[in-house]
């Protein structure tokens, strides 16, 4: 019943709903080491949060407890309805898993409804589900007055996947280890990018498996990554797209292209149309093109659209998960 709000001074002072926005990401640099005996790969990665956001609205259900967590997809979502219909609406949803983690360490967590308005491509290599999880961590902490620090939220997020702590942090960051050792990088000036989503998704484990197979077939030795190329970090510090362009790298790109050969043509088209550099985002299939400035990015997006490709001009780095007042 709603009485829990009216009669209990603690609950009366609490918000009933919280909206959080969390960014998708691209990787400006992604070096992948050989398959390790434990099944993981060591990586050296540079994450950039981009201005393509997920919006998560979490609403308290008065008089219920945390066994009552429901999720729906917001009507304002801008992705293909067929893809949206395939998102799990149970414990398979990363947002629900995030809520359960916060509930576990909250006093008397109530039931909640999570509405996710999706703008980040699904299985697109942009960490959309991770952004939803990050946003839900922040919202539940606020709704349940759990009082977790950013550090504690990040720790919880890492249980769900390496991309969740980054969606909380935002900006630019270096990921080492299996992507779990995250350090913020200085990048004071946003750069301009064009993103081209694909009409399909790629499974991250399948892309890694394909990379391993391609490498095995080539017989070439694969080095363990140690650090992100210094030129990447210098260019980000300087906010200089021309300096960054030659350093863009994604070891997963070849694997994504071999699974989806049409991607290669779109990458070449972007280069032809004036991108400073182009690459597959994360495990793909979303493609990212670097532009000199905002005008060039919007021109490039328009030119790609004329060739029949959906294209979004974005900037990045941008901030991490944040409550919208
Ligand atoms: P990565 O960047 O690691 O490749 P991704 O962004 O490409 O991840 P997501 O869209 O996060 O991939 O999710 C991939 C799969 O996870 C989906 O196919 C879906 O079944 C499942 N999933 C779980 N929760 C969500 C969510 N909130 N949104 C979208 N997909 C989700």
ipTM of the complex: 0.95
The answer to whether 131 is annotated as binding is: yes
- Decide: 261 and 267 in contact? Cβ < 8 Å: no
Ligand 1 centroid – CA 253 distance (Å): 19
Secondary structure (DSSP) of 63-109 = EEETT-EEEEE-TT--S-HHHHTTS--STTSHHHHHHHHHHHTSSSP
Question: What is the distance of C-alpha 318 from the center of its chain?
Answer: 12
Name residue, tokens 């969740």. Answer: 164
Ligand 1 atom with minimal separation from the 161 CA: 3
Stronger pLDDT, 199 or 214, i.e. the higher one: 214
Question: What's the fold here for domain 3-186+319-324?
Answer: Ribosomal Protein S5; domain 2 (3.30.230)
The answer to whether 111 is annotated as binding is: no
The protein residue whose alpha carbon is closest to atom 15 in ligand 1 is: 123
For 15-32, write each residue's pLDDT tens digit: 799 999 999 999 999 999
| Residues 6 or more apart whose Cβ sits within 8 Å of residue 303 | 273, 274
Please count the other Cβ atoms lying within 10 Å of the Cβ belonging to residue 216.
12
Name residue, tokens 């691209």. Answer: 26
Ligand 1 centroid – CA 273 distance (Å): 30
What is the CATH code for 191-315? 3.30.70.890
For 166-184, write each residue's pLDDT tens digit: 999 999 999 999 988 999 9
Known catalytic residues are 25, 163
**Strand 172-176 relative to strand 181-185, pairing:** antiparallel
Residue among 129, 132, 134 to mutate when testing ligand 1 (max atoms within 8 A of CB): 129
Q: Span 277-281, mean pLDDT?
A: 97
pTM of the model: 0.94
Residue among 128, 178, 211 to mutate when testing ligand 1 (max atoms within 8 A of CB): 128
What is the domain partition of the chain in residue ranges?
3-186+319-324, 191-315
Ligand 1 centroid – CA 122 distance (Å): 5
The answer to whether 125 is annotated as binding is: yes
The protein residue whose alpha carbon is closest to atom 4 in ligand 1 is: 125
Ligand 1 centroid – CA 129 distance (Å): 4
Ligand 1 atom with minimal separation from the 71 CA: 27
Stronger pLDDT, 87 or 13, i.e. the higher one: 87
The protein residue whose alpha carbon is closest to atom 24 in ligand 1 is: 93
The answer to whether 63 is annotated as binding is: no
Q: Is the pLDDT of residue 69 over 90?
A: yes
- What pLDDT does residue 11 have? 67
The protein residue whose alpha carbon is closest to atom 3 in ligand 1 is: 127
Where does residue 242 fall: left (phi above 0), alpha (psi -120 to 50 degrees), or beta otherwise? alpha
Ligand 1 centroid – CA 88 distance (Å): 9
**Alpha helices per DSSP H over the chain:** 3-7, 9-12, 81-84, 94-104, 128-143, 150-158, 163-169, 204-218, 230-238, 241-244, 253-259, 262-272, 294-306
Query: Which residues does ligand 1 sit against, CB inside 6 Å?
Result: 87-88, 92-95, 116, 122-130, 132, 163, 201, 204, 282-283
With pLDDT > 90 as the criterion, what percentage of the chain qualifies? 93
- What pLDDT does residue 52 have? 98
The answer to whether 199 is annotated as binding is: no
With CA atoms as reference, report the closest residue to 160 among 124, 184, 136. 136
Q: Is the pLDDT of residue 1 over 50?
A: no
The answer to whether 157 is annotated as binding is: no
With CA atoms as reference, report the closest residue to 20 among 102, 143, 108, 160. 143
For 20-64, write each residue's pLDDT tens digit: 999 999 999 999 999 999 999 999 999 999 999 999 999 999 889
Q: Is the pLDDT of residue 2 over 60?
A: no
- What pLDDT does residue 4 have? 59
């Amino acid at each position: 019943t709603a009485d829990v709000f009216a009669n209990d001074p603690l609950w009366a002072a609490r918000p009933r709903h919280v909206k959080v926005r969390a960014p998708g990401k691209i990787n400006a640099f992604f070096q992948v080491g050989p398959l390790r005996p434990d099944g993981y790969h060591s990586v050296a990665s540079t994450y950039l949060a981009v201005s393509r956001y997920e919006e998560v609205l979490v609403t308290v259900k008065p008089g219920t407890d945390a066994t009552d967590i429901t999720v729906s997809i917001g009507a304002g979502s801008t992705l293909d309805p067929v893809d949206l219909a395939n998102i799990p609406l149970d414990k398979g949803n990363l947002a629900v898993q995030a809520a359960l983690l916060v509930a576990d360490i909250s006093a008397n967590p109530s039931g909640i409804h999570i509405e996710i308005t999706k703008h980040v491509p699904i299985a697109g290599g942009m960490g959309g589900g991770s952004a939803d999880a990050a946003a839900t961590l922040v919202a539940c902490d606020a709704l349940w007055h759990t009082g977790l620090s950013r550090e504690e939220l990040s720790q919880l997020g890492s249980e769900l996947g390496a991309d969740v702590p980054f969606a909380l942090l935002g900006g630019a960051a270096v990921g080492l280890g299996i992507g779990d050792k995250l350090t913020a990088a200085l990048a004071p000036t946003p750069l301009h990018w064009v993103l081209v989503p694909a009409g399909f998704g790629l499974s991250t484990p399948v892309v890694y498996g394909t990379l391993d197979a391609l490498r095995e077939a080539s017989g070439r030795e694969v080095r363990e990554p140690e650090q992100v190329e210094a030129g990447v970090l210098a260019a980000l510090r300087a906010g200089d797209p021309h300096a960054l362009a030659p350093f863009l790298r994604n070891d997963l790109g070849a694997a994504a292209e071999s699974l989806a050969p049409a991607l290669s043509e779109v990458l070449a088209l972007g280069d032809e149309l004036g991108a400073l550099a182009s690459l597959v985002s994360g495990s793909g299939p979303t493609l990212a093109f670097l532009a000199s400035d905002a005008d060039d990015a919007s021109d490039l997006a328009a030119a790609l659209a004329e060739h029949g490709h959906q294209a979004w001009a974005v900037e990045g780095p941008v901030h991490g998960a944040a409550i919208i007042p």
